[in-house]
Amino acid sequence: MSPTLVLSLIAGYFVVLIIISILTSRKATSESFFIANRNAPWYMVAFAMIGTSLSGVTFISIPGMVASQSWSYMAVVLGYIVGYLVIGTVLMPLYYRLRLVSIYTYLEQRFGFWSYKTGALFFLISRAVGAAFRLFLVAGVLQLAVFDGLGVPFAVTVTISILLIYLYTFRGGLKTILWTDTFQTMAMLLCVGVSIYLMADELNLGFAGLVKTVKESTMSQIYFSDPKDDKFFWKQFASGAFITIVMTGLDQDMMQKNLSCRSLPDAQKNMFWFTLAIVVVNVFFLSLGVLLYQFAAAKGIQLPTNPATGKVIGDNVFPLLATNHFSLFAGIVFILGIIAVTYASADSALTALTTSFCVDMLDIQQYDEQRQKRLRHLTHFGFSIVLIIIILIFRAINDQSVITSVFKAAGYTYGPLLGLFSFGIFTRRGLHDRLVLPVCVAAPLLTWFINEHSETWWGYKFGFEILMLNGLITFLGLLAISRPRTAAELNPAG
């Protein structure tokens, strides 16, 4: 694929997004920016959330990891179902009852000022790091497909990518994103479906042959044998449930969309249909991964390997095959798919970061609408710069699959949120509020220390379940600084 063609696709794609932004951001206010005036149709929210939750990591890393991890990730996906059930029946009723704009306001009502600020701070760190990881992946693909050939540095690629997101989100916020993400989810689903069809056609497989090929492949194995293995089914299943609770239910980015629904029943319908869709979509991505390796083997294609280990670099498999060995049409489909799924996740993250910082740190609602608008724009631009910096740092130090990096980082940064919300919901005790931040900083450090030595001490290797350990340590730390609540504190809002 020529750089000119790819650049034309990117330019045309963003023209569509900017047109959508212009049409949907007219007379935008802070309420429409933050929660879309609480008037979004549930089915639109459910569909838009598919693209937001997946990201370019799913599009590239999940198909790429089947050679080394087989279908072990499917256990994580099945765990999602439990996590979404908890969100729909426990967390969403709480958020709607309190009519929250930022979900971390709950922590102030339940525990106090420092707990509230600590929760918001950990979200800002978690989402900024997670969004940067995801954007790092797509920027790397665009660098390989286009900008290396033009001699453009990676830093310029990253800057352009993020400023384009800023351009179509800074005015309308969530009201715009619900529309752009609906468009981008549609583009992503179309692209993955077409990719699977074209791969099956290249391998001369009908539908029955496709199902048989995936089912009988050694790469579709799920691991039940060794509990100490980080791919063990029940470890992955439990990790998936807790990852979902924290990265959706305790995450302002994902819950901001849910809070834009007209009522709690609408939001719960959204969550039910979204859950079914996300499981099916992940099955498609894992199946695509099997087909990619089957295609490479059938065509005798040498896949990229790590010189140090000799292992295939999974994150490079799909981009390499799509841009160098597929037909022109399939390559175009891939580029559009990776752009759609990545920016659907990234634009939402940038808006959520702006929302949380404005509401939780700046207390923006105390100001008049004109000043709120000015603060929103400055914050939105500031987080765009922050994402650029984090991506460049990550490029310098990353040495593993991006999806592993994302979830490993989430285990350390979302753990305190899991502990805080769990303590607030499942106990009736108060906290010595000023001690909450030290506990929430100490918990990830202790978790890291245990993770570094667990194999030596017990022969146990932590995987994504490091999140549960971190949440448990945080919970126990909070229990240690807890106190009985006073009569004044025991109210329905708590």
Average of per-residue pLDDT across 272-297: 90
Across the chain, which distance is largest between two alpha carbons, in Å?
73
Average of per-residue pLDDT across 330-341: 78
Over 80: is that where the pLDDT of 318 sits?
A: yes
Ramachandran sector of residue 310 (left: φ over 0; alpha: ψ -120 to 50; beta: rest): left
Over 50: is that where the pLDDT of 279 sits?
A: yes
Rounded to the nearest integer, the mean pLDDT of the chain is: 84
Average of per-residue pLDDT across 214-227: 80
- What confidence category does residue 56 fall into, taking pLDDT thresholds of 50, 70 and 90? low
pLDDT at residue 406 in the model:
59
Q: Which residue has the tokens 């309420």?
A: 31
Over 70: is that where the pLDDT of 75 sits?
A: yes
Q: Tell me which of 298-312, 436-450, 476-490 is least confident.
A: 298-312
Percent pLDDT > 90 in the chain is 25
- What confidence category does residue 5 fall into, taking pLDDT thresholds of 50, 70 and 90? confident
Is residue 316 within 8 Å of residue 63, measured between CB atoms?
no
**pLDDT digit string, tens, across residues 26-42:** 777 777 787 777 788 88
Over 80: is that where the pLDDT of 430 sits?
A: yes
Is residue 249 within 8 Å of residue 70, measured between CB atoms?
no
Over 60: is that where the pLDDT of 400 sits?
A: no
Cβ neighbours of 337 (radius 10 Å): 25
**Paired tokens of 459:** 């022969």
Average of per-residue pLDDT across 418-440: 94
Find how far residue 229's CA is from the centre of its chain: 25
The one-letter amino acid code at 419 reads: G
Q: What is the pTM for the complete model shown?
A: 0.80
377 versus 142: which is more confidently predicted? 377
pLDDT at residue 492 in the model:
47
- Spatial CA neighbour of 351 closest among 229, 178, 95: 178
**pLDDT digit string, tens, across residues 96-127:** 998 888 899 999 999 999 999 999 999 998 88
pLDDT at residue 121 in the model:
93
Query: Hey, which bits of 161-205 come out as E strands?
Result: none
CA distances in angstroms from 213 to 137, 202, 292, listed in the order given: 29, 13, 12
pLDDT at residue 229 in the model:
66
pLDDT at residue 494 in the model:
44
Cβ neighbours of 44 (radius 10 Å): 18
Q: Dihedrals φ, ψ of 362, to 5°?
A: -95, -10
pLDDT at residue 423 in the model:
95
- What confidence category does residue 433 fall into, taking pLDDT thresholds of 50, 70 and 90? very high
81 versus 302: which is more confidently predicted? 81
pLDDT at residue 478 in the model:
96
**pLDDT digit string, tens, across residues 224-273:** 777 766 677 888 898 889 888 988 898 888 888 888 888 999 999 999 99
